[in-house]
Structure 1
Amino acid sequence: SLIQNSDGELTASVLSGSDDIQSRNFIKKYVASWFDLETDIKPFYRMAKKDELLRPLVKKYFGYRMVGICNLFESLCWAIIGQQINLNFAYMLKQRFIMHFGERLLWRDKTYYLFPKIERIAALETSSLTALQFSRQKANYIIEVARTFESGKISQQQIAALSFEDAKEMLLSLKGIGNWTANYVLMKTFHHPNAFPLEDAGLQQAIKRNLNITEKPGLQMIKDIFSKYEGWEAYATLYLWRSLSD
């Protein structure tokens, strides 16, 4: 299906297969997960309005929700791609990755690219990705993740059924997945409200800017700040990240 924004409303067009109740229900569920529509964020707002750091942010960005990455494999690939590089270069690498290895769909004279399938990436050699300016290490990580999925050792359904800590432990068992990546994926794909990437440079910069302090906060300071947001760490992170775009 193709989901588009038209005059402030989302419209979904079924481009292949049957336009039946099952397909429509799948699309509704997908969109609800994509925009985290099933999470009641009113308790987060009540908490944030009492907090010096978050109060101005929830007022300014009221209604902002976690825009997720519904596919776990895509989420892991994107997190690995984005490790320790600037966002513009990360976007460029992701675009190359999708255009080279993803399937294409032509509709109304416009080409749409689908995220590469697991089996396509699992069959690659490292050189296929380094040719696109991926580091050898990241290329190996992405291919290894794809092969782990293909072998059945890990699946999205399996992780979705686990507790936050168990899901995090399973993600950390993957080569190339550290604490930052695991928490990012648990935020963006599984909507765990208490997941947050403690070591994130953007989070540090956002806290520094919004508290108007001269130096970036250390990890202990971030832990102390986030101890007040228990159960809503992901949304606190989201709103702090959003403030960097202004």
Structure 2
Amino acid sequence: MPQQFTRASYHTICDDLAKIDPDFANVIHLYGYPPFWSRPNTFESLVHIILEQQVSLASALSALNKLRERVQEITPARILLLTDAEMRECYCSRQKTAYIKYLAEAIISGQINLEAFEQMEDEEIRKQLTALKGIGNWTVDVYVMFALQHTDVLPIGDLAIVNAIKRLKGLPKETPKEELMVIAEQWRPYRTVASMILWHYYLCDRKSPPAP
């Protein structure tokens, strides 16, 4: 069974990472610990992550809330009862409507079992989910990090993570992802929590006034 972090162990892991990486220690000193971002292991959570693909978090949440208004509880069966036009009224694009319905069908057919994922290693989960149209590595990374709390996931396809590493480490914009992944090796086996610190830094640093 893969290693997981919990609310109880979260700050301890942050402290361990701060001992390894002085830049993380500085982030925690300036901005405090990152929030304990988590989501339940449900179909709705995966729908939410699909909606977040390549759009703002606010836009994705608006679409999710519209779906909730329409069906009360976001389940595979209820989603499959909606027409594509009704999905569009809930701010779901044609592509994302298709992706969400593929996922719903896979769960109903038994091809995907979210509860079984709780006992599986990352790569087996990735293999099963990426076999579905519209689910790529970023979606799997966020699901495994937030819904399953696996400790060692680095979502290198996430632009905020990439930019946060470059900014925190003072690297040029053109630094390739391969170099960033080498830097991230020092954060094993807690790259998920390292990513939480990076997201926290990215969000807080954007709000800070520029230096005089």
Q: If the length of structure 2 is used for normalisation, what is the TM-score?
A: 0.84
Name 1:142's counterpart in structure 2: 100
Contact 1:61-1:239 at 8 Å conserved across structures: no
2:87 corresponds, among 129, 135, 146, to 129
1:225 CA drift (Å): 1.6
Inter-CA distance 37–221: structure 2 relative to 1 (3 Å threshold): same
Name 2:47's counterpart in structure 1: 77
1:187 CA drift (Å): 0.2
> 1:98 aligned to 2:85?
no
1:89 CA drift (Å): 1.7
2:26 corresponds, among 28, 41, 56, to 56
Inter-CA distance 44–242: structure 2 relative to 1 (3 Å threshold): closer
1:134 CA drift (Å): 1.7
1:161 corresponds, among 115, 119, 122, to 119
1:40 CA drift (Å): 5.5
Distance 2:192 2:54 in 1: 21
The range that moved more, 197-206 or 58-67, is 58-67
1:75 CA drift (Å): 2.0
Name 2:207's counterpart in structure 1: none
Distance 1:63 1:83 in 2: 26
Amino acid at match of 2:66: R
1:178-227: CA deviations, max 9, x gaps? Answer: 01110110000111111221110111221233234441643112211211
Higher strand fraction (1 or 2): 1
| 3-state SS in 1 of match to 2:21 | coil
Higher helix fraction (1 or 2): 2
Name 2:139's counterpart in structure 1: 181
1:87 corresponds, among 57, 67, 71, to 57
Gaps of 5+ in 1: 1-32, 103-114
| 3-state SS in 1 of match to 2:149 | coil
Distance 1:177 1:87 in 2: 17
1:53-79: CA deviations, max 9, x gaps? Answer: 322123345444532111331221111
CA RMSD in angstroms, aligned pairs only:
2.3
Amino acid at match of 1:67: W
2:182 corresponds, among 202, 217, 224, to 224
| 3-state SS in 2 of match to 1:203 | helix
Contact 2:39-2:45 at 8 Å conserved across structures: yes
Amino acid at match of 1:138: K
Contact 2:68-2:74 at 8 Å conserved across structures: yes
Name 2:149's counterpart in structure 1: 191
Name the larger-Rg structure: 1
Distance 1:213 1:40 in 2: 28
Q: If the length of structure 1 is used for normalisation, what is the TM-score?
A: 0.73
Distance 2:139 2:70 in 1: 24
Amino acid at match of 2:52: G
1:122-156: CA deviations, max 9, x gaps? Answer: 22232221233321110000111112111222122
Structure 1 segments of 4+ aligned residues over 4 angstroms from their partners: none
Higher relative contact order (CA 8 A, sep 6+): 2
Amino acid at match of 1:190: L
Contact 1:193-1:235 at 8 Å conserved across structures: yes
Distance 1:36 1:47 in 2: 16
Contact 1:207-1:217 at 8 Å conserved across structures: no
Inter-CA distance 65–86: structure 2 relative to 1 (3 Å threshold): closer
1:175 CA drift (Å): 2.0
Correspondences of 1:192-207 after superposition (within 5 Å): 192-207=150-165
Contact 1:48-1:55 at 8 Å conserved across structures: yes
